[in-house]
Structure 1
Amino acid sequence: MTDLERRLTAIEDQLAIADLRSRYCHLLDGREWPAFIDLFTEDGVFEGLSAVRGRAALTEFFVQRVPAMTEEFWHFCSNGTVALNGDRATGRISMEYLSVMNGVSYISAGHYDDEMVKQDGLWRFAARRLTFYFLAPLHEGWAGRPFHNPAT
């Protein structure tokens, strides 16, 4: 592979990873579960409000438990970084999360730490780890509030 081909492949991979991360937000917010779960590898990991591994556990968590915690939610991600290493990549992306739980509007922020792999020409999450900085009722604000899960 020439230097130009390597550089072009790296650009294509970075664009595909940006698309993967965007589709994550859109499919999750739209509750399009089969397409959403397909964003993960067969043994993919999600760690956040819970830790789950594999598509069956991911499906149970996102299809059953997430909707039980919140009536509505919207994810907004920005400031993504990516470090490519062949068919593997790591990165961090900032996240703002708005939700409605028990009729109360919440605001939160945090970041995802991602491990991604390219399989059969498609990038997928091998692991996505969520760190919340805070989660607070919108009417109270977030100053000085550590993360807590009001659904528990």
Structure 2
Amino acid sequence: MKTIEDRLKFVEDQLEIAQLRAHYCHLLDERRWDEFIDLFTSDGVFEGLEAVRGRDAIYAFFSERVPKLAEDFWHFCTNGTVDVNGDVATGRISMEYLSVTNGVSYVSAGHYDDVMRRVNGRWRFASRKITFYFLAPLSEGWAGRPFPGRALAPKVVQ
């Protein structure tokens, strides 16, 4: 039987992980790269259109490549699940992504699969993998439109 302290620690971990995921969206959308990169472990991995490993590669990807893909973007995450096992947690969270590219509004949705690790008492992303279900111009709708390159394996950049 778990003690009240064990149960309280589990709830605290869940709340901190929820904050980590929320900060990810806010800092990314506000392009606050120096704070954003601190959300990842030093050997963290982000896997999306590309796979990048380590804070320097993650920083370069988000601060240089991502702004070239969209003039503006907004991330909305809901329905997060998390399984905490000591200093490692895994989970999935649903994502809606709105963006503007070349003056065209886009809508998309997908999910993140997360592995998080407690480092020096704080939760960080050890890996974050995004899977898009679709990406489509808002004016055309999204029905039947898979995300371009969804079936392609991302290239790992060190």
Q: Shorter-chain TM-score: what band?
A: over 0.9
The one-letter code sitting in structure 2 at the alignment partner of 1:25 is C
4+ runs deviating over 6 angstroms: none
Match of 1:145 in 2: 145
Structure 1 unaligned residues grouped into runs of 5+: none
Residue deviations 1:29-74 (CA, integer Å, cap 9, x gap): 0000010000000010000111000001001100000001110000
The one-letter code sitting in structure 1 at the alignment partner of 2:99 is S
Match of 1:99 in 2: 99
The one-letter code sitting in structure 2 at the alignment partner of 1:136 is A
Shift, 1:10, TM fit:
0.3
* Equivalent residues in 2 for 1:48-63, closer than 5 Å: 48-63=48-63
2-structure distance, mates of 1:59, 1:91? 23
Equivalent pairs counted in the alignment come to 148
1-structure distance, mates of 2:57, 2:45? 9
Match of 1:18 in 2: 18
Matched, 1:69 2:72: no
1-structure distance, mates of 2:93, 2:128? 10
Match of 2:83 in 1: 83
Shift, 1:148, TM fit:
1.3
TM-score normalised according to structure 2 size: 0.92
Matched, 1:7 2:28: no
Structure 2 unaligned residues grouped into runs of 5+: 150-158
2-structure distance, mates of 1:36, 1:49? 18
Match of 1:133 in 2: 133
2-structure distance, mates of 1:107, 1:98? 5
1-structure distance, mates of 2:114, 2:59? 19
Matched, 1:46 2:35: no
2-structure distance, mates of 1:134, 1:86? 35
Matched, 1:122 2:136: no
